[in-house]
Structure formats: structure tokens, C-alpha cells
Structure 1
Amino acid sequence: MSTDRSAWAGMVPVDDTALYVTDTGGPGRPVVYLNGAYADQSHWKRVIADLGSGFRHIAYDERARGRSKRSADYSFEGSIRGLDAVLRARGVDRPLLVGWSYGGILAWHWADRHPDRVQAAVIVDAFPVGVTGAAGQEQIRKLFRRMRFFFPVAARLGLAARMTAAQHADVNIELNEIAAASVPVLERLTCPVRFVLATGDSLGSKGGEMDQGRATLEPVLARNPNLTVSARVASNHSKILRHDSPAVARTVREVAAEVSL
């Protein structure tokens, strides 16, 4: 449990950068929110409001997102180190992790590496599938090159990072490779893991690709009883936190009631 429960907002140093962190403090169970690949912590405000003051809410911006500083390292391992740094800085020993998209994959990998340090995980529309190989990588790079003029505006809206198009693509390519190789990780998780899944396609996907990806969870769920789908909602991947925050909050409450502090 945490040793510092005071409300706080500020910068936490890690590697060559610093992450902007907000912590509501209080005696409640610590819930740590992990963002989508290019999103900032503002996307969690509805979930946090729905859960209310009975929890201690800790959210932060990844490198070059939101108010956090830029870095020379935007890798997945850098994100793992960022989560470690936030937990140390806020004195949290056993978080309940809630991750959306990229943040969901980050949550299950951190839980796999630290099985004795995590209470539970709520995964919002992330699944073990990805576009890989040379053709897949070129597809991703083309998409981000087309979107390059959108990034400066999107970054101000919490929808992109302060990165180049090539850096955005590198993050996405690595994420796809990690997601595609995640089935063994999910199969060995020992903490309770609850999924909230969206429907339909999202930006950059088409033809039911996202629903095909969600279907890859089914055999994993059958092999690991610690994993459960708690809700399937009508929103798509991009809009799930905005339109279906009550389902996410309800899942957090349910899994929190199942595990001891």
C-alpha cells in the first residue's frame, strides 16, 4: 500500500525526461490509469468521476504526451520504466491497473513481470493481435505519413504525441509486434484480469479488423480462468472511454471487491 496519500500533481523524473502525474490522494484503493498510445490522462476523467472519491486515482501522461516532457526513448520498455517511476514516486506498492489500448497491453505485461505487486487489472479494448512483418510495417508508416499534418492539432487535444510521424509509426509498429506475441503472457497471468471490449473498427482499421482481433481473446480466456470479459459495449475503440465510462467504472468496482488490498 501507499506510504504517501496526499493529493499531488507534478513532474516525476525518469531516464532523460519527466512525466506529469496527478494523484487525488486519500485512503482509497490506488487505481493507476494507463493511456492509449498517443493519448493523455484527460481521457480518464469520466471514469474517474464515475468511480468517485472512494478510490485513489493516479494518472499520468506518457513521454511527449500531455504535459510530459519529450524523450529520446519512446519504446515500450521506456513506458514500463515510466510506470515503475510513477509508482515509486507516489509510494504505491500494489496498484489496481486500468489500461486502455496501449495502456492495456502495458498493464498485462507489468502484471506478468510483477505478479506479487499487482491487485488486479482492467483492460479496456486491448487484445493479443497486431499487424506484423514488412508489409504491415509499411502499411503503418504510410498511415502515419498521411496523418502527419494532423499531429500538431491532435496533440493539443490529447489525441497525439509531440513526435514526428516516423516516431508515431515506430511506437505503433513496436506495439503491434508486442501485442501479437502476448498470448503466452496472458495465459500465465495470476491476478484477476477483466476486459471491457468495444465493437467495430476504429481509426486505421476497416473491414471488421478490430472485431477479428477481439476474437483472438476467446481461446486465451478458455485457458486462463483469471481472465474474464466483464462487458461488451456499443462504442468503438476510440470512443469507449467517452461513451461507456460507466461500464469501465463498474468493472473496476467489481474486481476491486474481489481482491484484498
Structure 2
Amino acid sequence: MTKNGTSSTTSQWTGMVPVDDTALAVTDTGGPGIPVVYINGQFSTQGYWRRVIADLGTGWRHITYDERARGKKSKRSADYSFETVVRDVDAVLAARGVDRALVVGWSYGGYVAAHWANRNPGRALGAVLVDGGAPYDWMDEAMEERIRKLFRRIGWFSPLLRPTGLVPRMTAEQQAISNIELGRISREREMGPVLDNITVPVRYVLASGVSFGSKGDEQERIRRGLTAVTARNANIEISAKVASTHGSILKKDFRAIAAAVREVAALDRAGARKT
């Protein structure tokens, strides 16, 4: 057992973790360092985290995985709901013998990380939410139709890219439903209480400008909503607001994300010394 109360493995492990009707492709660097589990954007893969992981270095135990039907290896499923994604965090950690972890999520993964940290106050060392996990009422009937049209439009070329792992092995309708569900989960009345109830250190790293599918200042309006969140919960702060866009933040501002991870880990260690 490590000082964090988790089992450790001395060497890197890559393999498949069975869960429900599917299996997830997982990579675990092993070692006795603080376990950090990375949760991807809605349709991205674990490879997006490579710069953050490289900046943090080998003193940490990095656990990455591809969500259901994402990447080249994770299998398809009958269930792509948000709840299954949150439960899959537990499945991956259990399979790797990790009880307590620091969770890092980008975009969609930020919402997953916030929910997991809220539900597991005794297991979460803290959370870093990268341009995701903000409460905002952006979903209405017009937006729902816009999302469906967007995914129908890109659906025609998706099968050509699926063998590369760059797009999920989900239908256009499944992707649209997942995105619409996210909009409902993001609503203030849904997401606000989740953030208000978090009792572990949380740090946001925010991008600037637009994201794929957004218009005008939609993304900035969402980010501005965090002012009320940080005012209500002293555990939550904004670590950095960077110049990168939503889509480029993991590539261009990985150092700010790594710095937020170090900050949260230091707060957990400081809290442990006081108890």
C-alpha cells in the first residue's frame, strides 16, 4: 500500500478493463506516486493528455483510458449515458487497485470529474476541471435541434475516420443524444448543487474563446458563471485563465494544467498533515 492508501504497481500496464457489456482500454504508469486519473473530452481519447503527463513527470501514477466506443480499442456498448461514464471511473480505479485518486477532466470530462469528486469525498484527493464542469443553462429546443443537425452533418464522413480512433464508434444519433444529455446536466439547477457540495480542493483551468459548435460568446458566458460557484464554495478556485481555445488547451497550455494538479495535490497533503 502507498501513503495514499492505494496499492501500487511497479511497472506500466496497458490492457482492457471489462465493465458491464463493454471493455475499456486503460494505461497505468504504475509506481508509488499520487494516482491521477484523467477523464477525456466527450469524443476524444487518452492520448490528448500526453503533454500534461510529460510535464508532471514520473513522480506521479498516471491512469488514462478511452471511454466506451472511443479510441481504437474500447468496445461499443448499449449504454453511453453520463451515469455510466461516472461509474466507469470507479471500474477503472477498482481494476487497478486504486482507492484514492486525484481526478482531472477536460470539457465533458470536467463534468464527470466534478460528479465523481462530489460523490466520493473520502476517495477524491481533489479535482482539476479543464474548461468543463461549469453550470449554465444553454440547452433549449433550438439548441437541441442545432446539435442534431450538427451531428447529422458530420455523420457522413465519420465512418471513414473510425479506424484511426479519431472519432467514436457511435452513430450520429448516439453522439447527439450524449451531447444533449450534457446540456441538461449542465443546467444551473443540476450542476450547481453538485459543485456546492464538493468538500475537496477543486481548481479550474479555463480556456478563452470558442469551441467546436459554439457561436459568438457562448463559451465565455458559460465561464463567467463560475464566479458565483467560487463565491459559494471556498474549496473551488480558478487556477488559471489561459489564451488557448477550448480545443487547443491540452496542447498549448498543458503547463497550466500540470500546475493546477500540483496545487491540488499540495492542498491534499497539507490537509492530511492537519488531521
TM-score range (shorter-chain normalised) is over 0.9
Give me the whole-angstrom Cα distance separating, in 1, the residues matched to 2:160 and 2:37. Answer: 27
Structure 1 residue 155 displacement after superposition: 4.1
* Divergent runs of 4+, >6 A: none
Q: 1:106 aligns with which of 91, 112, 131?
A: 112
**Amino acid corresponding to residue 194 of structure 1 in structure 2:** R
One-letter amino acid of the structure 2 residue matched with residue 61 of structure 1: D
Alpha-carbon distance between aligned partners in 1 of 2:165 and 2:264, rounded to the nearest angstrom: 28
Q: Give the number of equivalent residue pairs.
A: 261
Amino acid at match of 1:231: A
So what's the TM-score if we normalise by structure 2?
Answer: 0.91
CA distance in 2, matches of 1:49, 1:130: 36
Separation in structure 2 between the aligned mates of residue 183 and residue 8 of structure 1, nearest angstrom: 37
Change in Cα spacing, 1:20 to 1:130, as seen in structure 2 (3 Å) is farther
Is 1:209 the counterpart of 2:213 in the alignment?
A: no
Distance 1:252 1:153, change over 3 A: farther
TM-score, scaled to structure 1: 0.96
Match of 2:67 among 55, 59, 62: 62
CA deviation map 1:180-218 (0-9, x unaligned):
120111111100000000000111001110001101111
Aligned partner of residue 63 in structure 1, secondary structure:
coil
The answer to whether the 8 A contact 1:231-1:247 is kept is yes
Gap change, CA 1:177 and 1:154, over 3 Å in 2: farther
Q: Match of 1:2, as an amino acid?
A: T
Q: What pairs with 1:84-95 in structure 2 (closer than 5 Å)?
A: 84-95=90-101
> What secondary structure does 1:201 align onto?
coil
Equivalence for 1:162: 169
Give the gaps of 5 or more residues in structure 2. none
Q: Residue 142 of structure 2: SS of its match in structure 1?
A: helix
Confirm or deny that 1:171 pairs with 2:187. no
Measure, in 1, the Cα distance between the counterparts of 2:219 and 2:157.
23
Aligned residue identity for 2:27: T
CA–CA separation in structure 2 for the residues paired with 1:173 and 1:190: 28
What is the one-letter code of the residue matched to 2:101? P
**Superposition RMSD on alpha carbons, in Å?**
1.3
Cα shift readout 1:48-67 (whole Å, capped 9, x = no counterpart): 00100010000000000012
Q: Distance in 2 between matches of 1:150 and 1:5?
A: 41
Query: Displacement of 1:257 after TM fit?
Result: 1.2
Deviation at 1:156, TM superposition (A): 5.0
Distance in 2 of aligned mates of 1:163 and 1:231 = 34
* Partner-residue secondary structure (3-state), 1:53: coil
What's the offset of the Cα at 1:154? 4.8
Q: Which runs of 5+ in 1 are unaligned?
A: none
User: Which of 226-235 and 124-133 deviates more?
Assistant: 124-133
Please list the CA deviations of residues 48-95 of structure 1 after superposition, one character each: whole Å capped at 9, or x if unmatched: 001000100000000000120010100011111211100100111110
Q: How does 1:1-261 map to 2 (within 5 A)?
A: 1-6=5-10, 7-66=12-71, 67-126=73-132, 127-156=134-163, 158-180=165-187, 181-260=190-269
1:134 deviates by 2.5
Say if 1:14 and 1:81, in contact at 8 Å, map to a contact too: no
Q: Distance in 2 between matches of 1:198 and 1:158?
A: 25
Post-superposition Cα deviations, 1:12-57, rounded to whole Å, max 9, x if no partner, equal: 0111000000000011000000000000100000000010001000
